[in-house]
Each structure stands twice: as structure tokens, then as C-alpha cells.
Amino acid sequence: MRWTPLPVGEPCPDDARLLDRELSWLDFNARVLALAEDPDVPLLERVRFLAIFSDNLDEFFQVRVAALKEQLLGSDAHGTLPELRAIRMRTAELVEQQSRVLAKEVGPALEEAGICIVAYPDLDDESRAHLDLVFETRIFPVLTPLAVDPAHPFPYISNLSLNLAVVVRDPATFGERFARVKVPPLLPRFLALPGDERFVAIEQVIAAHLDALFPGMTIVSDHAFRVTRDVEIALSDESEDLLQAIELVLQRRTRFGRAVRLEVATDTPSDVISLLMRELELGADDVYTIDGMLDQSGLNALDVARPEMRYSPYRRVTPREFAQGAQGIFRAIADHDILVHHPYDSFEGTVEAFVAAAAHDPDVVAIKQTLYRTGGDEAGIVASLADAALAGKQVVALVELKARFDEQRNIERARLLEEAGVHVVYGLVGLKTHCKILLVVRRDRGGLRRYCHVGTGNYNPKTARGYEDLGLFSADEDLGADVAELFNHLTGYSRPRDYARLLVAPDALRPGLMELIQAQAREGGRITMKMNALVDSEIIAELYRASSAGARVDLIVRGICCLRPGVNGMSERIRVRSVLGRYLEHSRIYRFGSGDDVVHLIGSADMMPRNLDRRVEALVSVPDPVLSARLDEILDVNLADEVLGWELQSNGTWRKCEGGGTATHTELQARAVARAHRPVDDEPVT
């Protein structure tokens, strides 16, 4: 399902005013795949983008396609939703393209560089002997063949597991049976051969040794397959114990999630596919035939130390304000608001350093923080919060247990913090707490003073190295009072209030943004918005009205965009850009107006109904002229990028920019380094 150009000069039909959300997401993943195709991208980074494409597609099916299929089940509709048919066509096209990129472009380039993914049948005797030993000692002991016959029901196929469908024949009776062998996820996906950079996929090694699993039987055939299941969590608003409720749902999700996709190798016979479809309750449109390796997310497991095939190393800088020790950090924030820009500015040297300084400063009496995705290790922020509680400080952590795919990790971190004496709040049943806020209360000479941080990204050191995000540090009294009041609302009982510098969802964010957009709906009006997704129909309608009234609108949207730009009489003054490259663009920046009346906001919310209506989100105003100029700098660099940039056309397709100039990530790296070596009161680098 592709969009056709609209007639010039004619109004846009109502059913074409919004681009399809799911197809727009698939177009975003197509832009990720384009990075894997790009010969100017370092070779091992192209491999990484192939893996990211697969990871993204897995999540899309687990969440979005699962939701559409659930909608179909709950309706009186027969057959398949038109949207599901369009998704299938586009997905099949992209998966075929991905297989071709690996087989025809990336694979041969790797081989030319001496890095080979070798098929087991093509190995020499010495290499086979090595893998025979590996199989016998490391793989065979953990394999469990599961037969399917009247005495053995069809086994449960776990979500995203890689499996072999095996057909065996009894040489005595000549009867054929089906069996399933799961590739244990704890084993490495690729087995390295000694002496060089050659790798064999583990499923091929298992397939070559199936006779050891089915002794006395004849192996007729084996075929790789993979199942994707619905992972969405549905919680009752009446749950009395949120932690217990989520643990129960996680168990049920692992065990009972409905299958939504079946991936099979091209050589899989139709009778095996039919058996899998029947047992998994899937239709023909749910089956995707893969010509090549299943689950290319496993490419991330290639253990190759070839830095020359990666992006050039970048040493994240520590802004001068944070290079003066723990006491210096508080002095600097007390003096003026500070904006940090990750990953160009070090997360460890700024956010983690701030929390560590608060944890060990005897003058700090309280720390409060939201944690949405906490990261995988015990170091850094989680450890500092625990240290602060053990030191007798009042420490509150609001851990969002419903953060999708991180629920179990967040439960573990919450328990660790509770054991250290941290007051842990599990969020709200009806709303996800997605805002990124941090509050430190410290004794100063004039009494207690609040220091706070409001960010666009998670307090997660791992993602902070690859996600582009912003954070604002401030000791401003109004903002400190806002953040303190928001924490009180989240942890206690209070009615939402009016805030001085925050726009908070679900109560004030939508009307506040609508008012800001409407104020620019005039000749000379100016709106620039940078976000991950633009889906909300009311926000889009206001942007259309602003454009029609004469405002110029520039949108930087990394992923889904349902707004159709460039349509006469509706959106001719709206431009939509997307930047994809080394770092994942993740910050949200909203700019309204120009000159002395300009308003800048940063924060956690995208323009989606879930962010505006079903989450606790926070956007903070940035009135400081030096910092607002920094935000303009980021927006301008993104809008000028003709290297990593894409532009959305009025017919709903994306066009790769083909100009010259400097890529956003390279440019902002250089500016961060230059800024770190300038006096702290200098103007932004231009």
C-alpha cells in the first residue's frame, strides 16, 4: 500500500490527510536498512544496522501487529484488516531486501575483509572436526529434542526463539514423525573457527549433528523456523499490588502470548509449514519465507575486533562546569542553568557525577528520581541512590515497572533499591510515568535549596552512549518547586497544579502545546519541532491550521510521521525531515515563535496520544538565551543535514537528501569538543 501524489491545487481528501501509522513505521525501518546498504558507512556498522533492522521488526510485530490482530479478533470483521495486508506486503518487500543486502553486498564485503560467515557443508575436514568437538562438549548436553505424536503434544514455541523443524523416519516402520529442536538462547549464535575470523551459525552445526539427537532414526530433513508472539501487558486498574500483578502478567506473557508471525527458511516443505500454521493458529498471511539467515539480529554476536571497520572513536567530553569536583558541580548549577547534550557530553561525567556527588555530599538531605529504563549493571546511578539511602539520606525512586521489555529488569532494580533503604514507588496503575526528572535537596548557607535535572532520555548509561538526548540542570526556584510538586503528586495524594516552568501530561501538556501552536497560526509564525514520532491527529490538525494561516513549520521526526507535508491549501509551509546515522536521534525539542517572544521546551514527550493522554510526561521551558541558542543550533544542524537527512514528500514517500556538507553527528561532536575548551560563559559555538 503506497501513497499516490495529490493533485496540485486541490484540497486534500479527508481520508488522505493522515499517513498510515504502521506503514510510516515500516518506512522508518526502511531508512535504517538504507544505512546497511550505504557503502560509505563503515562495514561492521552496516552489519549492526542489519541487526537493528531485525530487532526493530521484531518489536513491531510483538506490539503493533499483535494489537491489530487483537482488534480483528475483537470485531465482527471477517478475513484480514486491509492494514494487515498492506503491512504484510511492505514487510515481505523489506525482508527480501534485507536478505539481499546481506547476501549480495555486506556478506561479500566481509569476506573480502577476511571475515567470513561460512556454511557448515563448505568446511574442510579440520574445521568440521573442531566443530564436532564443540558440539559434543558444549552444545549437545543442553539440547532437548521434542517429538510430536499422539503421546507427545506439540510443544510450546517460545517467543523469538530459533528452532529446527526436523522430520525423521523410522527405518523399521518407514513412518515419518515431526520433532522440534530449540536452539538454546544462552549459546553463542555464531561459533568461531580457530586461527582466523571465520564463523558458522550454530543452527547449522546443530542440524549437521541431528543423528546424535535421534539415534537409530533417519533424518529426512531439517528446517529453521522462528515464532513471534504478542508481548503486550494488560493490567487491571483494580490491581491492589502493582508489582505482584506485573510479575503475574510477565509469566503469562512468556507462556501464553498469541503467535503473530512465523518465519521459515525457503526450503521448508509445505506440509511442515502447514503443521506449524495449524499448531500455532496462524494463517498464510502470517508466514514469512526468508531466503537466507533467519533472525539477523544475531549478527550483533559476531565477535570481531576490527576498529577500522567501525565509526571513528569519539571520546565524550565533560563540560567544564562538571570538571571541578563534587562541590564545583553544585556551585556551577547554582550559578546558572546548564544544558548537556548526550552522547557528545559524557553521561557518566554529568548526570552520573551529579547523582554521585549528591549521594556522598553531607549537605544533601534528599534525592528523588524517576527511573524508566535503568540499565543492566549495578554501577552508576542505581548504586549512588543505594549509597545515599545507606548514608541516611531521604531517597525516593519512582521505578516504572511497565516499561515495555524492561519490566523484569526494573523489578530487580526496585528490589535492590528497597533492600538499601530507598523508598521505592512503582508508578501508577492507569498511567506510565515516562518523565525524566531528578531532584536533590541540599543545605546551602541560605537554607535548603533544590537542584534538579529534567531530561529527554532515560537515566541509563548504556543507551546514553548511543542515544542523542538532552538534559537541563537547574537550581531555579520556580523549576525546583515544580519538580518537587510533581514528585509529591506521583508519590502521594494531590490534585495536579499549575506549574511555572513545566508542562505536565496528562493534564496540561496537550492544551499547553495546542495554545503554543495556535499562537503561531499567522503570517510570520514560526514552529520547529524535533521528536521521535508525530502521530496525534489533534496536534497534526493544529499544525495544518498554522500552515494554512501563514506559519512556517519545520519538523524533525526520526520515526513515525502521520502528517502529510507540502499539500497546497493544507500543509504547503510544512517541511518534514528525518536524520538517521551513528546515533539514535532521541531528544525532543519544541520551539515556538521568534525573536524576543520565542519559547523553547525540551522533555520526554513525543506527539502521540499515549504520551499526551496516558502517560506522566514533562516538558521544561528553557528561557536562558545562551541555552536556547544551543537548542537552535541543534535544530539548525539537523535541518541543514544533506548527508544523513531524509525528506518526507507529499505522496507519503521519503527521499534521501543528496547534498553535501557535514553530517549532524560529526558536526555536533566537533562543536561539543570546541565548547568544552571554551570559557564557560562564552556564547555557543557557531
Whether the domain at 320-491 and the domain at 502-676 fall into the same CATH topology: yes
> Computed over its alpha carbons, how large is the radius of gyration of the chain?
27
> How far is the CA of 439 from the CAs of 346, 396, 552, in angstroms?
20, 10, 37
Q: Which of 14-23, 126-135, 273-282 has the lowest mean pLDDT?
A: 14-23
Name which of 489, 486, 604, 605 is nearest 536 in CA terms: 605
How is residue 563 annotated by DSSP? B
State pLDDT tens for residues 470-492: 999 999 999 999 999 999 998 88
**Residues above pLDDT 70, as percent of the chain:** 89
Query: Could you tell me if 603 and 456 are in contact, meaning their C-beta atoms sit under 8 angstroms apart?
Result: yes
What residues contact 528, with CB distance under 8 A and at least 6 apart? 553, 554, 555, 556, 589, 590, 591, 635, 639
**Helix, strand, coil percentages in the chain from 3-state DSSP, rounded to 5:** 40, 25, 35
For residue 15, the model assigns a pLDDT of 64
> Could you give the CA distance from residue 210 to residue 494 in angstroms, rounded to a whole number?
63
| Domain extent listing, the chain | 20-309, 320-491, 502-676
Strands (E), 135-232: 145-148, 162-169, 176-182, 190-192, 197-201, 218-229
> What is the pLDDT averaged over residues 356-361?
96
> Could you give the CA distance from residue 590 to residue 622 in angstroms, rounded to a whole number?
10
The pTM (predicted TM-score) of the whole model is 0.91
In DSSP terms, which residues pair with 366 in a beta bridge? 394, 441
What is the crossing angle of helices 353-360 and 325-335, to 10°?
110
Dihedral angle over CA of 400, 403, 408, 413, nearest 10: -40
State pLDDT tens for residues 3-13: 344 444 445 55
State pLDDT tens for residues 400-433: 876 565 667 767 787 888 888 999 888 776 788 9
CATH number, span 20-309: 3.30.1840.10
**Containing H/E element for 645?**
strand 645-648
Confidence of residue 360 (pLDDT cuts 50, 70, 90): very high
CATH architecture of structural domain 320-491: 2-Layer Sandwich (3.30)
**Containing H/E element for 441?**
strand 436-444
Catalytic-residue membership of 434: yes
Q: Mean pLDDT, the chain, as a whole number?
A: 89
For residue 212, the model assigns a pLDDT of 95
- Opening angle at CA 573, ends 570 and 575, nearest 5: 110
Residue predicted with more confidence, 52 or 237: 52
Tell me the torsion sign for CA atoms 537, 540, 545, 546: positive
How is residue 146 annotated by DSSP? E
Give me the catalytic one of 223, 341, 342, 434.
434
Q: How many CB atoms lie within 10 A of CB 339?
A: 21
Name which of 247, 244, 206, 198 is nearest 224 in CA terms: 206
685 φψ region: left (φ > 0), alpha (ψ -120 to 50), beta (else)? beta
> How far is the CA of 461 from the CAs of 347, 375, 381, 469, in angstroms?
7, 7, 9, 12
Residue 683 has pLDDT above 80, yes or no: no
Domain 502-676: state its class.
Answer: alpha beta
> How far is the CA of 215 from the CAs of 91, 209, 433, in angstroms?
40, 10, 55
